[in-house]
Structure 1
Amino acid sequence: MTNAEAMQPYQRIVNDIRNQIAAGRLQAGAQIPGIKALAEEYHVAAGTVQRALAELRTLGLIYSHQGRGSFVSEEAAGRTDSTINRIRHLEEQVEALTARLDRLEQGSE
């Protein structure tokens, strides 16, 4: 099982959008695709997308306007520090490994 498979579906969306911002594919002020489009792209429920967007807002990577959508924040676009990105990547790997270990332990009991 790969790290991507071990991640929760909302975490994959968060990770992908974060990576797009870090790589410069999503610039400050760029609109994030809507809930329906993201749900179709990732083959998940709308609630999963909403959870991912909430996490991205909490991280300060995006902001949302009721009725207009979600956009990349100025703060997020300015964050290109590779150390921060490496730390986040390591945190995601630890989360994925923890989830995998939990599943393995549940299967052996």
Structure 2
Amino acid sequence: MSSEAVQPYQRITQEYAEKIRQGRLSAGTRLPGIRQISEEYGVAAGTVQRALTELRNAGLIYSHQGRGSFVSESVEESVEDSSTLAIKALESRVAELEARLERLEKGHDG
């Protein structure tokens, strides 16, 4: 896949997944804040939030409101190649779209 085809949130997701996979970010390590990551990558906060959601969905990180995001303790078991990570991201997106479609259909049936 060419780098032009990779969305900014996907690049952040892939780079952080790789840091975790390589052990540069170990279990329990706090990730930089959204503002810091958005400045580092030159993207909007929403882009960083989407990347963090993808990492959470893949089981690589967990978040605590007001405290930040951390590398999962069981990261050794959840570290996956980028293809698996991409599939999980797509599954998550499809589930979101299915839920939205269901809400829309219920709204028109009533």
TM-score (norm 2): 0.70
In the alignment, which residue of structure 1 is the partner of 2:39? 40
| Runs of 4+ displaced beyond 3 Å | 86-89
In the alignment, which residue of structure 2 is the partner of 1:85? 81
Task: Write out aligned runs for 1:63-82 (5 A).
Answer: 63-76=62-75, 78-79=76-77
C-alpha distance after superposition, 1:28-80 (max 9, x if no partner): 0001110000000111000000011111111111000111100000122x148
Give aligned-pair identity as a percent: 55
Task: Write out aligned runs for 1:1-109 (5 A).
Answer: 3-76=2-75, 78-79=76-77, 84-85=80-81, 87-88=83-84
Cα root mean square deviation, aligned:
2.3
Structure 2: unaligned runs, 5 residues or longer: 91-110
Between 1 and 2, higher relative CO (CA 8 Å, sep ≥ 6) is seen in 1
Q: Does structure 1 retain, via aligned residues, the 8 Å contact 2:58–2:78?
A: no
Structure 1: unaligned runs, 5 residues or longer: 96-109
**3-state SS, counterpart of residue 32 of structure 1:** coil
CA distance in 2, matches of 1:61, 1:5: 25
CA distance in 2, matches of 1:86, 1:51: 16
Q: Does structure 2 retain, via aligned residues, the 8 Å contact 1:29–1:74?
A: yes
* Number of residues of Structure 1 aligned to a counterpart in Structure 2: 88
